[in-house]
Amino acid sequence: MPRAASDVYFQLFNEIGILEQLSRAVLEAKLPDGMLSSHFGVLNHLARLKDGQSPNELARAFQVPKTTMTHTLAGLKKNDLVKILPHPRDKRSKCVWLTDKGRRFRETAIHSLRPDFEKLSKQFSPKDVKVLLPHLEALRIIMDAQRDGE
Amino acid sequence: MPRAASDVYFQLFNEIGILEQLSRAVLEAKLPDGMLSSHFGVLNHLARLKDGQSPNELARAFQVPKTTMTHTLAGLKKNDLVKILPHPRDKRSKCVWLTDKGRRFRETAIHSLRPDFEKLSKQFSPKDVKVLLPHLEALRIIMDAQRDGE
DNA sequence: ACTATATAGTGCGATATCGCACAAATAGGA
DNA sequence: TCCTATTTGTGCGATATCGCACTATATAGT
């Protein structure tokens, strides 16, 4: 692979990294005190896809060590945002479920971001987003698959 | 702003967040032992833009508390990847410069990512990247400006 | 010049994240 | 069945990150 090609990939992930920093700051500014983007991320994941997943599945989904997920889940559980039940068949494992409070919390957090999106939309329209989004999704799906692949 | 519009922005940043997790894992897998993406990020920033910046400027660039940057820079300095000199005029401030070792380290790290990019390119070509990159840059510039703006 | 305010960097304690190692349970093969 | 290897979650200690408060310096207003 020629250097120029390698460089564009590097640039791509550099931009993604910067954008993540910026958007995380916007999100965390809206979250209540002890709440971190890692907590919100788990709530959002459970709500978007499905809850009842195991801590281990969550750890792999977030590319984070199991111990970190144990800790994050403990925080969510302490605030009654999730409930953690034993797995019905596998006695090693557990299942993480959203509580009603957890669902409401996520909804509220998303809602509170609307003014930020509103402001952004004046310079970067929803149509611009709709152009961008499919490409990002495609890239994400590919990278996700390559990760599982080995 | 209608809910549907708000949702696409949320989706956008969700994808960006996931992609950042995935790419950070790829990078950190290639970094030597005590080295973290936060360290590499600073080296890369100093190399891409310009070195000689103050710890405070770096902290603001990375959206991170000053104390965190102090700590990160201490780690880089300990490994002779940066040198930290007093600011010539402002006695409160300091200037962070890359050492030759720091520059080489960054080059090596970037080089070591080439096989990963190579693999990715089979499903997501450099041309695909070139379509994506300008949109991301535009968004990043806008968000960066809005952040400074207030 | 003097005072009040703002800014740069850091020490300190709290929390988050990580790597290692382990116990309990499961899965797979002889 | 029995033995081994794998998987799941967690305790523990180390490092990273964060918020608060403080010192030293610089800036602004008078």
**Contact flag, residue A64 CB and nucleic strand C, below 7 A:** yes
Strand D footprint nucleotides (protein C-beta < 7 Å): 7-13, 15-21, 24-27
> Could you tell me if A39 and A75 are in contact, meaning their C-beta atoms sit under 8 angstroms apart?
yes
E strand residue ranges, A1-150:
82-86, 94-98
Terminal Cα distance for chain A, rounded: 21
pLDDT digits (tens, 9 = 90+) for A1-13: 888 889 999 999 9
Evaluate whether B120 touches A142 at the Cβ level (below 8 Å): yes
On the 0-12 / 13-18 / 19+ scale of CB atoms within 10 A, B30 is middle
CB-based contact, A141 to chain B, within 8 Å: no
Q: Which of B10, B16, B143 sits opposite A110 (nearest CB)?
A: B10
CA–CA dist A117, B84 (Å, integer): 39
Q: Three-state DSSP class for B36?
A: coil
**pLDDT tens-digit series, residues A93-115:** 999 999 999 999 999 999 999 99
The one-character DSSP state at B83 is: E
List the single residue in A with minimal CA-CA distance to B28. A63
Burial label for B90, CB within 10 Å (0-12, 13-18, 19+), is exposed
Query: Could you tell me which residues come within 8 angstroms of residue A28 by beta carbon, excluding any fewer than 6 positions away?
Result: A35, A36, A37
pLDDT at position A2:
87
Strands B82-86 and A82-86, bridge-based pairing: unpaired
Q: Given the DSSP bridges, would you call strands B94-98 and B82-86 parallel, antiparallel or unpaired?
A: antiparallel
Residues in chain B: 150
- Any A CB within 8 A of B122 CB: no
Mutation pick from B1, B18, B114, B144 vs chain A, by most beta carbons of A within 10 Å, is B18
Consecutive 10-residue runs of chain B (150 residues): their mean pLDDT?
91 96 93 93 96 97 97 97 97 97 96 95 96 96 82
pLDDT at B149: 63
CA distances to A17, A18, B66, B78 from B82, in Å: 22, 22, 17, 8
Average pLDDT over residues A58-65: 96
Chain C bases near protein Cβ (<7 Å)? 7-13, 15-21, 24-27
- List the structure tokens of A97: 């479920």
Q: Is the CB of A73 under 7 A from strand D?
A: yes
Burial-class residue A27 by CB neighbours within 10 Å (0-12, 13-18, 19+). Answer: buried
Nearest-CA neighbor of B45 among B21, B78, B28, B69? B69
On the question of pLDDT at A150 being above 70, the answer is no
pTM beyond 0.75: the answer is: yes
Calpha distance A44→A103 (Å, rounded): 9
Distances (CA, A) of A104 to A29, A95, A107, A140, B5: 18, 20, 5, 28, 20
Would the Cβ of A75 be found within 7 angstroms of any atom in strand C?
A: yes
| pLDDT value, residue A133 | 96
Nearest residue in B to A130, CA atom: B8
